[in-house]
Amino acid sequence: MKKEPKIRWTAKEFVPDPGTGNEVGMGVTIHNLAELGFKHVLKRVGKTYGEDFHIPIERYLAMSEEDKRRACEKHAQKILATLAEEEKGMEQVEETARMISNEVVTGELAVSQVQEEKPLKIVDKESVQKIVTEAKKLVYESPDMQKVLILKELLTVAENYGLDEKWFSTAGYLLIEEVALKRWLLHYDRTEQDLKKKKYHELVEMLEQDFKKMGNPINARDISRFLGEREFRNRVLHEGYNPTPKEANETKEMAIGLLEFLR
């Protein structure tokens, strides 16, 4: 059986202007797009493709070389998934174009049959409108669309207070990880009273204590990764601070890391 080609990538570290940046940049480049089968993407980006991501300096300093390698590999997989979606879209466009081309080639026969056998039927506007209305009804009443509409409504309300989609996403992840943390602590013999009025960093400290009792201390790097910045959490959740795209993405990664850890 032929083996699937593995992604070949390299990463380069770079530090932003010390006067303005508090992050370490990592530039990840994929080198074997052709080998991986991205024939359409190759036409747009060339033989290699790279993207940057950033790590807060505090977290970076606590990371081992293996931690850094895993973070870069994770980003490489993320790039690959994005390119795969783009490749799929381009393939669909190509397939559609091929189908349209085939219809043009066979169109003469179809037109000939219509002219010889019966006159062309004109669909009235009301029938078309009815079909469109029914189609919209099916879409908008579907469970998946209802979820989307609820989120859209919430985002519209948030926008009335100057809060954008990055705030909406970041606040959601911050609250989900806090709920998940409390549920884990409750499951492992903590009580509602123990958790009452506890701040997020105190919950993380309780998590660390419980793991020590279980004989499985949490790595210091993980604790640093889960804690995040207290000031940032307060600004987002209580002061309506709109995060930058980088901050929103880092919060998402931090929250998902904690949720995966608690599974």
Distance of alpha carbon 232 from alpha carbon 228, whole angstroms = 8
pLDDT score for 125: 63
Mean pLDDT of the chain: 78
| Best CA proximity match to 76, nearest among 3, 14, 10 | 10
pLDDT at 19: 55
164 touches 244 (CB < 8 A): no
Residue 37: count of CB within 10 angstroms of its CB: 14
Pairing mode of beta strands 49-56, 23-30 = antiparallel
Helix ranges, 141-229 (H):
143-159, 165-187, 192-195, 200-213, 220-227
pTM: 0.46
Low-confidence residues of the chain: pLDDT under 70: 1-2, 16-21, 96-129, 131-132, 135-141, 145, 228
| 3-class secondary-structure state, position 18 | coil
Is residue 89 within 8 A of residue 44, CB to CB? The reply is no
| Other CB atoms within 10 A of residue 21 CB | 12
Question: What is residue 86's predicted lDDT score, i.e. its pLDDT?
Answer: 85
